[in-house]
Amino acid sequence: MVKNEELEVDIIDNGFEGEGIAKVDNFVIFIPEAIIGERIRIKILKVNKNIAYGKILEIIKSSKYRVESDCNTYSKCGGCNLRHINYEYSLEMKKKSVQNTLRKALKRDIEIDDMIGMEEPYYYRNKLQYPVGVSENGKITMGVFAKRSHRIIETNDCKLQNKACQKVAKDVFDFIKQKEILGYDEKTNLGLVRHVIVRIGVKTDEIMVIIVLNSMNLQNEKELVEFVTTKNPNVKTIVKNLNNKNTNVILGRENQTIFGDGYIFDYLENKKFKISPLSFYQVNPVQTVKLYTKAVEYAELTGKETIFDLYCGVGTIGIFASDKVEKIYGIEAVENAIKDAKENAMINGIKNAEFFVRKC
Ligand SMILES: C[S@@+](CC[C@H](N)C(=O)[O-])C[C@H]1O[C@@H](n2cnc3c(N)ncnc32)[C@H](O)[C@@H]1O
């Protein structure tokens, strides 16, 4: 097999990231956006020892599960992998993926239940983080990273992100552009704005903006606050975050609140949670409630149990289950997360939970 060779192949499986898999001679070929059961004409892009990578040239026999993607940046963007597949079938694929992983780990077959999907699998993410940089023509740009690259693709309607968050991010970017504030250039480590992050408590409608900067010296920051909060009254806090390292990690450790209290709240069912700029909080709140409810249901709690919420983050799972058990111990490596977990227990009037900073 050689680079640029054109072949007709049958797709015999889909891999962990949804990529189609074909076998020719002794080669396994990975082909993005190909679906099991399809016959495809491909071009080989890269050949390793027994593995090759190809791209679709023509779909000769199409899968009945193939759909037209509803996103105009799908083929370039590194965010979604399965938008060319009908949602119900994508859940089947995920089920199979879990089954395969468990089979490998346990070395036996186990039955697993069907995936519990979303009724509306759109605009559900409560946290967007858009990179800001410099485009090829030297202009400031904001969007999403292209697949396996740090090239920024502008996006105006991401189907995953909460719509209010997208609007706030755009307003922040408009301001930055208007004031000719510089975007960060990864090649030279120069420029100021690296990321715009917007988080929302979907139940409280409270929005947090985090502007990740190469230096804390943000010109016109008062004007920025005025501009963004006037246009979006539900923005409750704006935070500057310093990240001047040459790294792929988005957030630095240092925050400075320039508007509001530095945090927002959200509810999961009847439990209230404080969200700080650096704290982990599940990004799909609709499915979080379903997931935690299922976990509690499967645990068949009688009210007498002691629960260990390992890797507890800000304590969401333990606190969610706290009414149904006798005692909760939350354990987590990050000190600030444990601080938030203790505060979350207090906010909810929970007396049967203790949290500890420990490595599991
Ligand atoms: C994906 S988050 C999940 C948090 C929480 N359970 C939830 O569902 O919101 C994983 C958490 O594990 C913590 N963590 C990672 N490695 C750890 C370790 N070795 N011991 C304890 N906590 C760890 C991280 O700091 C993070 O808060």
Query: What is the residue-level pLDDT of the chain in tens, covering all 360 positions?
Result: 899 999 999 999 999 889 999 999 889 999 999 999 999 999 999 999 899 999 999 999 999 999 999 999 998 888 999 999 999 999 999 999 999 899 999 999 888 999 999 999 999 999 999 999 999 888 999 999 998 888 999 988 999 999 999 999 999 999 999 999 999 999 899 999 999 999 999 999 999 999 999 999 998 999 999 999 999 999 999 999 999 999 999 999 999 999 999 999 999 999 999 999 998 999 999 999 999 999 999 999 999 999 999 999 999 999 999 999 999 999 999 898 899 999 999 999 999 999 999 999
Q: Which of 262, 297, 314 is a domain's end point?
A: 262
Tell me the CA–centroid distance for residue 357 and ligand 1, in Å.
Answer: 11
Q: What is the pLDDT of residue 320?
A: 96
Cβ 208 vs Cβ 276: under 8 Å: no
Cα distance between the two ends of the chain: 46
Mutate-to-test residue for ligand 1 from 308, 311, 312, 335, highest number of ligand atoms within 8 A of CB: 311
Q: What is d(CA 236, CA 36) in angstroms, rounded to the nearest whole number?
A: 47
334 lines ligand 1 (CB under 6 A): yes
Please indicate, yes or no, whether residues 93 and 131 belong to a single structural domain of this protein. no
Please indicate, yes or no, whether residues 20 and 72 belong to a single structural domain of this protein. yes
Please indicate, yes or no, whether residues 106 and 171 belong to a single structural domain of this protein. no
Domain hosting 98: range is: 1-115
Q: What is the pLDDT of residue 92?
A: 94
280 lines ligand 1 (CB under 6 A): yes
Complete DSSP assignment for 125-151 = BSEEEEEEEE-TTS-EEESEEBTTS--
Question: Is 196 among the domain residues?
Answer: yes
Tell me the CA–centroid distance for residue 285 and ligand 1, in Å.
Answer: 17
Tell me the CA–centroid distance for residue 25 and ligand 1, in Å.
Answer: 44
Tell me the CA–centroid distance for residue 283 and ligand 1, in Å.
Answer: 14
Please indicate, yes or no, whether residues 197 and 143 belong to a single structural domain of this protein. yes
Tell me the CA–centroid distance for residue 360 and ligand 1, in Å.
Answer: 9
* Atom of ligand 1 at shortest range from CA of 316: 9
- Quote the pTM value: 0.93
360 lines ligand 1 (CB under 6 A): yes
Q: What is the pLDDT of residue 347?
A: 96
Cβ 338 vs Cβ 344: under 8 Å: no
Q: Which of 53, 87, 115 is a domain's end point?
A: 115
Nearest-CA residue for atom 27 of ligand 1: 313
Nearest-CA residue for atom 14 of ligand 1: 311
Please indicate, yes or no, whether residues 10 and 108 belong to a single structural domain of this protein. yes
Tell me the CA–centroid distance for residue 359 and ligand 1, in Å.
Answer: 9
Q: What is the pLDDT of residue 75?
A: 87
Q: What is the pLDDT of residue 78?
A: 85
123 lines ligand 1 (CB under 6 A): no
Please indicate, yes or no, whether residues 109 and 22 belong to a single structural domain of this protein. yes
Cβ 67 vs Cβ 85: under 8 Å: yes
Q: What is d(CA 39, CA 34) in angstroms, rounded to the nearest whole number?
A: 9
Q: What is d(CA 60, CA 5) in angstroms, rounded to the nearest whole number?
A: 17
Q: Which of 115, 147, 181 is a domain's end point?
A: 115
317 lines ligand 1 (CB under 6 A): yes
Domain count, the chain: 3
